[in-house]
Structure 1
C-alpha cells in the first residue's frame, strides 16, 4: 500500500493543534537514520486505517518525492471523536527484523466435520498473533484452516502453517489454543406450573 506524507517544519503542541484544525495529522518516522517529523492528510489516513493491510503490511511512503518502506507502529486516536491525533512509522529494509501483530483469517469452518456432521460450533479463541520475521517476509495475515476439526478437538498455535523465517511469539505460553470445538447446548424450555386456585376467599384481617 502507498501513501503520501509531507515534511513537518513546526514542532510543539500548538503547532500540532493547528495542523489538526487544518485537516492534517502530525506524525514521525524513525529507524534507519534520523527521525523525521511528518504530516498526513487526516481523511486519507483515517480511511487507510480502516484497511487491515495498512496495519500489518510493509507500506510505501512517498515523502518529498522519495519512496521509503515503512511499517505502522502506533496510532493515537481521540477518546471519543473519530479523529486521529498522531501516528508513528518505522523505516524498514531487507535486513530489518520486526515484531508485529498480524490478524488470523479462519477458513473451511463450515466444511469441517465439527460443524457439518457433528453439529458443533467452532469458537475462535484469538483473532491475531504477534510474529517475528524480516520486514520483507511480513505476511498481511495468517491463514488458519479449520477444515480438519471434529467434535472434542482444538487447534493450537503449532498447527498454523508459517512461511520460512516467520515465527509466532507466544510470550512463554506453551502452544496456546487458537480455536476450539464447542458442542451446541439445546436449551430446555421449562414451563412453570400454574398456581392452584385458592380455596374460598382469603381471610379478612381483624378490625
Structure 2
C-alpha cells in the first residue's frame, strides 16, 4: 500500500550539537530519527519547507508516508513531532518504520459532526463538552484511519458518548478498551447550560417579585 504523502530525507552523519545548529539555522533542515523494524535507528534530516507544508494537513499524522532516504524509499508513520516552545517551528521528527503484517499503535483524531443540529443543543438548549480529542488505536497499516467520526445529532441533555459507542472501522481496535470495560473512557457529553432552563428562570422571576414586595412593604 503506497503512502498518501512522500518526503525526501538525507542521512545525518555529523551528530554534534554544532552540526545540529548549523543544519537548522544555515541549511534550514529539520532533524529526525527513523526507527523500528529490524534495522537500527537512522538519524536523518528533512527540508524545513517540505515538512512544514505536509504538517499543515492533519492527515499527515495518521497516514503512511513514503520516506525516501538518500534515494531509497521506505514506509513510515510520524510518531512524534517536537516544536520550538516559543517560535512553534519544527525542531525534530520521529518516524516509525511500518510493516504490512505488523500492527501499529497510533493516536487518531476525533471529528465531531452534527453539533449544530444536536437534539440536546438545538431543542433543549444544552452545551456540548469534549473529554477527548483523539484516541489511541491499534491496527494494521492498511487499516489506519485518517480520523474517526463522532455523530452528536441524536444526543440529548444528560446523555454522553463513551469509547464503546464509537463506530470504529473494520480492523481498528481501541487500545483503552482492550484493557477492559473499566477503561471505557468518556468521549463527549451534552450538559445542562449553567444558569439556564425554564424552571431556573421561573424561580428567579419569583424571587425577584418577592423581593420587590418586601421593599414596598418596608417603605409603607
Counterparts of 1:129-140 in structure 2, within 5 Å, are 129-140=135-146
Matched, 1:158 2:164: yes
Aligned to 1:89: 95
**1:53-68 alignment, distance < 5 Å:** 53-68=59-74
Deviation digits for residues 128-170 of structure 1, max 9, x if unmatched?
1111111221111111111121122111111100122211122
- 2:218 counterpart residue number: none
Which residue of the partner structure matches residue 80 of structure 1? 86
Q: Determine which structure has the larger strand proportion and give its number.
A: 1
* TM-superposed deviation, 1:127: 0.6
* Contact in 2 for aligned 1:93/1:136 (Cα 8 Å): no
Counterpart for residue 201 of structure 1: none
TM-score w.r.t. length of structure 1: 0.83
Q: Where in structure 1 are there 5+ consecutive unaligned residues?
A: 194-207
User: Does residue 14 in structure 1 map to residue 21 in structure 2?
Assistant: no
Matched, 1:38 2:44: yes
Structure 2 SS opposite 1:4: strand
Distance 2:192 2:81 in 1: 39
Give the C-alpha shift of residue 85 in structure 1.
Answer: 2.1
Does residue 1:26 correspond to 2:35, yes or no?
no
Please identify the structure whose Cα radius of gyration is greater.
1
Could you say what the CA RMSD is over the residues aligned between the two structures, in angstroms? 2.5
Distance 1:57 1:153 in 2: 33
Of 37-46 and 139-148, the range deviating more from structure 2: 37-46
Pairwise CA distance, 1:79: 2.8
Partner of 1:198: none
Aligned length: 194
Q: Which residue of 1 aligns with 2:128?
A: 122
Which protein is richer in helix relative to its size?
2
Q: Which residue of 2 aligns with 1:199?
A: none
Instruction: Using the TM superposition, give the Cα deviation of residue 25 of structure 1 relative to its aligned residue in structure 2, in angstroms.
Output: 1.2
Structure 2 matches for 1:166-205, cutoff 5 A? 166-170=172-176, 173-186=182-195
